Every structure is written in structure tokens, then in C-alpha cells.
A and B are shown apart, each in its own frame.
Chain A
Amino acid sequence: MATIELNIYNLVNFQSIPPDWPGGFWWHWLFFTVVIIGFVLTMVMGVIYIERRGMARMQSRLGPNRTGPFGLLQPVADAIKVLLKENIVPDAADKLIHWLAPVVAFAPALMIFAVVPFGNGVLLADLNVGILYVVAISSVSTVGIFMAGWGSSNKYSLLGAMRNVAAVVSYEIPLVLAIVGVVLISGSLSLNQMVVAQDVPFILLQPLGFLLFFAAGCAEINRSPFDLMEADSEIVAGFHTEYSGMKFAMFYLVEYAEAVAISAIIATLFLGGWRGPILPPWLWFVVKVIIVFFAMVWTRTTLPRIRIDQLMAFAWKFLFPMSLFNLFITALQVLAGWPTELVWAMIIVNFAVMAILVLVWSKLFFKLGRGRIEV
């Protein structure tokens, strides 16, 4: 037993666990696994309600308001309905892959929460490579979407999956470069250490990084205006066209679990995570996650869907150069010691840099042929 304990203690920073915490590693593991599953499922139901009601409000509709008080039980009713539906598998489908795809897509969305802190040190595993783990794990869910697209043997499913890979490969670069800016300032890859380092929320120190991460994150999880892989008017429902019943419910769950995960990562990296006055840390965290998710709903109802070639052009001609600029400027500021000494100067300079860069590059973007790939 000595070796396994040695190794686990090396991987998981146990200093963050209070000494009066009952039980050892396995109790810690069991407790947080249950908490994470409960948290994700509850939050998914909550955000589905927020999205449907909020979107309806923005579009001058009522939204679901019949089931329970204010329509609060609508997600429950939908869940029960979809569980009772018939499970139809196409005749020509690759049965094993078709069956496995929702599971492979769902596991990473849940695994991301293992390193997200709900309070100071209140997390499943305080990995010292935390954010790298998040980026690595979230790239696995693409494989699940591929399997769905391929296993259905339907051309719309395949097209949806191929659009997805194009989007993920392109948008991962600005996403990671935006994270690097935060890592430079906080000086750690551990999400808990990043929150501890945020005496000033990083959205003020990294406004451009926040915008880039938000846009690239929305594209990664295929939320509108980047929801091309399930563009209803073009390719039916994209990769999950041939899914029904429980398996469709899994994909629906994945979609919102990923949205909650990206909101949680944004809240942790840029909004100070669990930090805040008066309220308990976990409540601050939940509030921030919901605020970020609400911003996603807002952009979804406001912006029109972009075309597939515009999707690529936006990533490579706009987000990518901007993220390089952001990284370069942040690196210079960190070298000059600004994050610790001249915080207010850094906030003002970075907001000015963001405004100028966005304005100038938008003009340049038009000169570069707007959405066209060929110049």
C-alpha cells in the first residue's frame, strides 16, 4: 500500500484538505464524485430552465410555464418523456459505436468538474496541472461526437461531425492561448491556486483574454452563434439526427453539461471562482456560473448563426492573431511585474489595448476578405 499512497499524494495536493476532514482518500473521492454528479445534473436542469424561459423572454414569447410553478418542472417532465420514448437504431448503423458514442461524449463533461474548486480547496483533486487536464479531457468529447456521426451512417450526421472537428481544431488554439495569459499572471496551472491568486478578478486584468475565451468556448461546445454542427435549417440535427429516447437525452445532457462546464471554467479563470463577500463560497461559484451562462443565452438570442466558411475565417483571421497579441502583451506585463505592483495601470492599459485591437482588427478583417477563405 505504501507505493500507491506515495503516488496519490504526489498527484493530489492534500494540503488543501482541512485536517478534521473525516476519512481518507477514498471517502474524499466518493463524497466529491456524488457531489459532482448531483451538481452537474441539478445545474443542467437549472440552466435548461433559464435558457428556455430567458430566451422566450428575449424573443417576446412566454416559454414553458405550465408544468409546476413558473414552469419549473418542465425539465423534469421533458426528462421523463424522453426516457419513455422508443429507442430506434438505424439498420445500417455501426451498432456498437452508435451505442458507445453518448457515453464517450458524456464522461469528459463530467470529468472536467474534478478539478473545479467549489471553495478554498473544496474540490475532488487539486491537480497541479489542473487547467491542462481540463483542456485535455474536453478534447476527448469530440471523439464521442465523431462516433455518433460515423456510427449513425447518415450523411447529415457525418456532415455535422465533420463540421464539429473543423470547429474544435480551429478554436482550440485561441482557447488555449487565452488560458496561457491567465496562467502567466497567476503563476500556476492549478485551478484552486488561480482562484487564490485573483485578488482582482482576471476579467479586469485580461479583458481581451476573457472575450477570446468566451467566443472560442462557445464555438468549442457548439453554442449559437457557432452551432453549425446541428444547424437545423441545413443538416437536420447534425450528429445526433439518428438518436432517440435515452441516447438522445444523453446528448442533450452533454450539450448542457458542457455549457455548465465552460461557464464554470470561465467563472474560475476570469471571475474569481468561489471568492466573494458575505455569501458562502459555493453559492458565489454557482451565482457566477449562472451569470456566465446567462451571457451565453444572451449572445444566442442576439447574434445570427455564422456560415461554415465564416466560422473558419473568424477563428484564424480574428481570434488567432488577437490571442497572440494578448499573450505577447501579457507576457511583457508579467516580465515588468505589473500584476503585483501596478495592478490599476495594467487594468487601464489592457482595456485600452482591447478596445483598440478589436476596433483596428475588425477593420482589417474586412480587408482580409471578411469571411472568405481565399484572399
Chain B
Amino acid sequence: MTFPAYEKETQPFPSEFASAFREARDAATGVLTEEEFKAWADCGLRMAKRAGRSWEAAREYFKASPALLRTLPFSYFMEWGYWGNVLVEESPVIAETYFRVGPEVVGSLDPWEVAEWAKLGRGLYTGSRQSSALCIRFFEASGDLLKILTLSELQHLMLLIESVGESSAEEAVALLSLSREVLPSLKEDTRACLSLLSALVREDWRQARGCLGVVREALPRVERVERARFLALAERLAGKGDTDIPTFLQEGSRALGHIDGYLHIHVLNLAEALAGINGGVVLDFLRGVPQVLQRISVKQLETWHDEGVTILKENPEGGSAFFRGESARSVEMLERLSTGVELGRIKETMRLYCRALTAMDVGIALPEEREAQIKGWVAQEKAMTGEAMVYLPLVVERFNNKEDNFDWFKVVATHQVAHLEFQSFLFSFNTPAVLFPNLRPQLALGENGEARAAGPTDIHRFFALFQDGPLARDIFTAVEDYRLDHRVKVEYPGIRKAYARVQANALEERPLIEEMPAREAMVELLIRFGLQVLLRDLTVPEQYLEGVRTLGEIVKPLSLPQASVEDTAEATIRLYQVISQIPNEAVPQQEGEKSNLPEEELGGEDMERMLKRLLESMLLSQSGEEQPYRSPPRVEYRGEFSPELMQLLSRLKESRTERGAKGKPMSKEDMERLLANANNLDLQAEQGELDQEGIFVTEVMKELGLEGTPDGSRPFNFPYDPTYDKEVEGNPLEVKEPFSFLYDEWDYRMADYRPRWCLLREKDMGEGDASFYATTMDSYATLVAQIRRQFEMVVPQGLHKNKKMQDGDEFDLDSVIEAMVDIRSGTTPDDKVYWRRNKVQRDVAVVFLLDMSASTAEAIDESRRTADDWDAPEDPLEYMFWLRTRRGEGVRRSYKRIIDVEKESLVLLCHALETIGDTYGIYGFSGYGRENVDFYVIKDIKEAFSERVKRRIDKASPLQATRMGPAIRHAVSKLEGIEARTKFFFLISDGRPQDRGYSREGVEKEYAIHDTKMALIEARQKGITPFCLTVDKEGHDYLRAMCQDMGYEVLADIYALPRRLPTLYRNLTR
């Protein structure tokens, strides 16, 4: 096909036009039909002929053609040409620019948008010189702007600029140039900035350019994810009109720049709240924040902010002075906040401190939670795990320095764990007291010689000695606390001073003893003994002096360090004998001041005479009616003390573990006895006041399925696991489809394998969204970097210098000398005289097996999450993570499940393993019944890491039950096929193995554990090191049985998993 040459038509024009045409023609002949070619050439040539300088525009048309003809469909191309023609008519210069930028701009547009874009430019030209300049600038800027904006956003921008142009054409041109320069550098925040601009143009167009001028400098100071919000805040302020936005951007961002990035979200939250009230103070607030945050925590910042808001609402002037830090109230508040100590910041320290003191895991909670727990179901959950709790206040701001405030926490914690440390709960009925003669044995027999002391535990038996249970318990508690207070001060002299402060404070808060009836007053006296450093310093009304003297004499031995809880019991017996005889009647107020006990009167007198005298004096002074006995209020710092519950729980636990160990349940008679006794206790408690222990015990019984049969007539039912299945007998299975595998299962009762018992199906995990991987990497960015560093340090060990090689990099001096010696001494030298690097590579293969049972769907302990709300971690990294999860919750109202954390951990681990290049596989398992064990391949051990693996990780989700045995066996078979010097098998689970029919008549737990254990032993016999990691708090129980001498770890805190897993792996394989 021949195309017309058009040589003649190009002749009138300068040679550069002709050459541009020729080049374009050569390119066009290849892609256009004859007809199209003609249309194309005509379009350009017609344009060239139109006016004097229009050939220049036409030249650009031809220059741009080769590129555009390739990218644009011809019809759209012609549309582009058509609009060029239109422009040429207006102004050849504009058209020239239009054509020149064509290839660049059209690349960022969809074909059908080209005309829109041209029209947008055309619309800017109104015939004036200024508009022509603007229009040219527009076309020039289009390429850059369209890289970041969509066409409609560009339209939006131009609309703004045009409206500025109505006021000032120069301003409009300047704004457009600036936009072109600034907007692309803002990346993802461009839209927010555009929106701010439109607000500004609406309110005060003069600020628009200033704003664009500073935004590029200002934004990088703000945490990346918060930049859009920062701009939105500026926009909001712009709407109010009382803030200069460029200044705000400049100074606000500078202030934020002084604060750690992870706090920005918090500060911006507060600033936004403030913007809703009074826009003018927002900048003041932001300016002040860096200084304020140097003194107080973010949490406290909120308090400070709230205070300011309150003032602001009443008095805008005062409010703005507050935020500028110019008001006395603001200064004073900062002072108070900055010396206060929040529990959240020291919780972890206190937890470890308590752990150190007691060797037990101690939970930390707020006093308010205690009330909630006693009533709600949560209580039993917590109580059933036997976890001791320490109750600490949310914040201590009593003193004007941090040390004293912190010491307060420490004293409270030390006292509360003293119950554990000095064995209040280990009371044994038959253990003799150290300091007192023992009355218990004879009391236990009673007058007629029949046993009076009965109860499920020793402490129950002890309280059974008394008619008035609540009174005895109050006396016991008060006296035991007295013992502990003294003991702690002896054992921990370092906190003695702080301790005295706490006690003095508690003493001040005691109710008036004058208003108490006599018996209660006596108990109150006992409580006060413990709060007073020296007995003689205790100030009481005159009529109680006798009481102080006598009761003080009885409890005095308990202040010695060798006093035991049995001594407390003996003292309780003696005190009870006195106090229970005192009628609980109001005591007439006597004239005269409160006084102290004269020193010389302390001690030395005969006890019996003293008791008699006390009784007489109290009986004498009685007046009025006998009132029911009510316990005096508890001393706050002393926390919860319920020895009966603790003993009962540990008793139940013992019987449980016994059952577990011997495979024999506690005998029915035993349980019934326990039940009957507990009911006694219940009734007793109800006779007095229904106290906490009473409620607890009922709940405990309920938990065991033992509730409410006072006569014990109902047949005793032990709650069996619902998965219990009678159809345990069955036949070996057969493989019917590919990718199915049969495994034996160990039956510990038979002490043999059940052949071909489980059918396992291997499946590829479905593919989810790879963004989960990216998001996780993002949100753990700091941790990822940390892990990477740690793992990179592992690698050089593989670069170990290997001596005694037959060939290598260099001579090994030692070997060479040895060889020389051999030669001289006439023996044959060893020829291995070289050393070489990197011969022994790290050669580790590992398989991770992920438990995908339904239980992993559980939200991570909701109650804990709320408790954590005030528990902001101190570590910035953790804080960030905490904040993110918290914010995520707020936005999406979603919660994290165990599996989510497991998945996140896998992501981090994959990343780490890729760093060191170990061979690894990741699998998940779940299933239902022995014929349906599903085994999911997330990353096969021989498979390379890829996008698909990332997507599969996302897909891991909770399914059914946990039959661990066959899954372990299959995972191990995967490892067997790999050549590696060291092989590991990692099991990550959230609880004990269980499945339908993973059982033998009611011993399901044991059966499953034994089978799992056997599978792990098999692994070890194959030279594979197994390791189990669980996030189940009760994991110690069965993991100990399951793993024995194999490695295992129980993570108390599931959130520790992402951090712990890589570290663990690194340590194990080191």
C-alpha cells in the first residue's frame, strides 16, 4: 500500500516542520489504514495552514503523533487532534503547548478522558492575556498533576484556581504553579490537601497560596498515617475562620514534630475535640503539648485536657489561658499530674515484683473489679484458675513526688501478697502454734467428746469451732493482718517508712469508734492495732482503754517474726472468747478526751485478771439494745482475704490433678462430703450475713455441677465433656482418595497402637488477601526490624572457620605445624592442613503446625481488654501496638481473635526465616472425628516463599476440633523427607487436644494427651526436636504431662506471641 507523500504540502513551511512530518509519517504508515492516514495528515496540515504561526502547533502535533498513535485508539486520537484544532483557532501558542504535553498527559488518562481534559483547558481561556498564561500553565502542569490526581480532582482544583482567578489572575497562576510543585510530593495526602484548599478558597482565598507554601515542609513532621487527619483538622479550623491556617500548619506541625510519632494520634484526638468547642485555642493547645508531655503521660494529658475543656466551656478567656499554660490552675494541675503514679505504667513491674516475693503468678486488678468479680461469672473463672489477685488503685497522687506515690503502690502490693508469702492460706488445723499453747485440739473434741470441727478444709474446720462465724472470721482476718503488717516490716525494712505512711492514712480513714456498738468496737480495735506502729500511740476514747490493754496483750506475740498463721488461729480463739461475750450494744458517750494508753500499764499483768476486768468494764458501760453484729469496713490497702475460698480451691485443684494423674476420679463419697460440708458453710453464712465466701462457695459448687442439694439426695453427676462419644469402637479405615493418609493412634489403655485409625486429608489452604501480610509487616515494623537484626546475627555462626580441611582458603597454621612435626618425627603427616569458611552451613529444617480449632476463634479475653484500657504499656513499641489495636477496635468494632495473633506471628516468623534461609514448612490442622482430620498446607516445606503463601496465611481460620496426634505424625513425615542436620517441629496451640471420639469412656483428656505425647515421642525418635507453644493459661497442667522432658512453653499473654515466637525459635536453634 502506498500512502501519499504530501511532500508538496509541507514545502511552504520551515524545514523543521517537514522533518517532524516525515518522521511522524514513517511511524504512522505502519499503524494506520490508508483512510486513517489521510485523516491524520489532513488534520495536521490543515492546522499548519490556518494562520501565520499555527505551523508550530502543527509541528508539535506531528511530533507527538508517533507516541500517541501507539497508545490511543485512532478515534480518540482524532478527538485529541480536533480539540487541538479548536485551540489553534483561539491561540496557536496554547495549542502548541497542548500538543507538546500530549504524550505525557495522555499516558495518565483513560482514552475517553482526553477530550474532557482538553475542554478543561479550553475553558480557562477567555481571550485575555492572563487567561492565556493560565491556560498554558495548566497544560504544562497537567502531566505532573495527573500523576497524582484523577481527572475529576484536577477539574476540582482548576475550579478552585479559576475562582481565585476571578479575584486575582496573577494569584491564580501562582497558585497553579505551586500546586504543580507541591501536590505531587504529598503523595497519599494530596486529596486531604485539596480539600483543605477548597475550604480555604471558600473562606479566604488569600491563605491558599501560603498554605500550599508551607504544607510541604510541615507535613513530614507529622506521623505519616496522621497527616490526612492533621490537614482535616486545619480544614475544620479554616471553616471557623479564626485561625491563620498557614501559621497553624507551620507551628502545629512543628509542635507535633517535638512529640514521638506514636503519640500524634492521641494529641490529634484531643485537638479535634477542642476544635469542636473553640477553634482559636487549638493552636495554643498544640504549641503547649510538647512541654506538657515532658512532664506527664499521654493518659494524664487527657485529664489535663478535659480540665481545660471544662474551663473553656464556661469561660473562653480562661480556657485559652489554661491551654497556653498561663493560668495557675493549669500549672497546679500539671504539678499534681506529673507527680502522680499510674498503675498502668507500673503494672508489669508490680506483677514481677509480686512474682519475686511469692514465687507465684499474681494478677493485678483494680479494687472496683473485685466487686464485679465477686458477683459476676468472671469471678469464678478467675478464681478457678487459682490465680491470686492483688488490688491496686488506678492512680496514686497523694504525695508531691513520684517516689512516695510509687511506694504507696509497693506497700499495698507487698501487704496483699504477704498472705501468700507468709502462708496465711496454708493454715493447718493440726499444726501446733509456735507462740501460743494449743487450744484447738481440745476444742475440736467438744464437751461430749464428739468432733466439732468438720469441714472440707482445715480453715473450714477451724471456723466450725465458733458459733458466730462472721465474728470469728473478722477477728481472724484482723489479727492475721496484724501479724502480716509486723512481719512485712521486719522482712522488708526498705519500705518500713512508706508502710507507716500507708497505715497512718488508713487509720485516718477508719470510722468513728464512738459510734459503734461494743462488740464491733472491739473488732475495730483489733483492726486499728494493725494500723498503729506502736500500740501506746493508739488514741481511743477513754472507755476503750481497757480493751486496748487486754486485747493488745493477747495479740502482742503475733508481732514477732516467728509467729505463724496457727498462732493467729490461737489468738483468734482467745479473742473470740472475750469479744463474743460482750453484748453488741451501743456504748454511752463518756465525757473526756481521747487518750493514749499510759506506757507503764502495758504488759506484765495476769491475763485472766485483765480479761475479767475488761469484761466487767464493758458490761458495765452497756446501755441500749443489742444490735446485730456487722463487720467493720475493710481496710482498703489490705485487699481481699478469703482463706476459706483459697483452701477450698486448692483442695479442689488437688483432687483434680490427682484424678488426672491416676486416671481415677475423686470418689463419689469424697465429693459428697465436700458438698455437704460446703452447704453447712453456706447455711452458716446465711445465718449471719451472706458474706462473700458463702456466695463463692455456692458458685464453686455450681461450677462443678454440685449445686443446691442440701440433703444430698440428688444423684451425683460428674460433668463429662460433651464431646464424649460412646462409639469408640470401630474398625481401621481405608484410603479412598489421593492425598489421604492413614495414621495409627496410640491407645494408652491398651498400651498399643490402634492400626490405621485416623484418616488425614492434606489440602492446600485457600488463598486470601496478601494485604494481611503487608499490614502485619507494617504494624509491627519496629519489631520486624528488631527480629531481622537478631536473625542476621545468627547467620555468621554458619560462617564458622573450619579447620583441618583437605583444601581450602588458606593454610591452618596449627595443622601445618603439626604436619611439619610429623614429617620431622618420621610419621606420615596429615594432609588436612587448610581451613575453609562456610563449609558447615546452618542446616536447619523446621515445621510449624498451627492449631486451627474452633477455640482459636475466641476473642482475646474481652474482660482483659477492658482492664487493659488503662494499661498503656510504657515501652513505646508496645504502646504503638496497643494504640493501634485500640484504635482499630474503635473504628471497626472488631476484636482480635487468638488465630489472628497466631497468624501475625507466622508472618513475622516467615520473614525471619527467610532472613536466615532455614528450610521451613507451615501447616494448619483441624477436623472432626478420626476419619476427618484435615491438614492444611500453608507453605509446604519444599515450596518457596511466594505471594501465594502470603495469601494462604490470611486464609487460616478457626475450624473444628483438635486431634493433634495424626496431624503431628503427618507433619513429622514431611520433615522426614528433608535432608537436614537439625530438624525441629513446632506446635502452636491454644489448648489441650480434643476431638469427638478422641476418647475412652470418660477419660478423653488423658487419651488425647497420651496419643499426642506418643506422636511427639515418635518425632523425637526420628531425630526431630519437638517443641510445644501454647497460649492456654492452664497449659502447664497438660503440657507437663504431654511433653515431659521435651521443650514447651506457656505464654501467659497472647500478645507476647509475635515477639516471643521468633526469639524462641532463634534460641532453640542456636
Q: Do A and B come from one complex?
A: no
Taking beta carbons and an 8 Å cutoff, which residues of B are in contact with A?
A: none
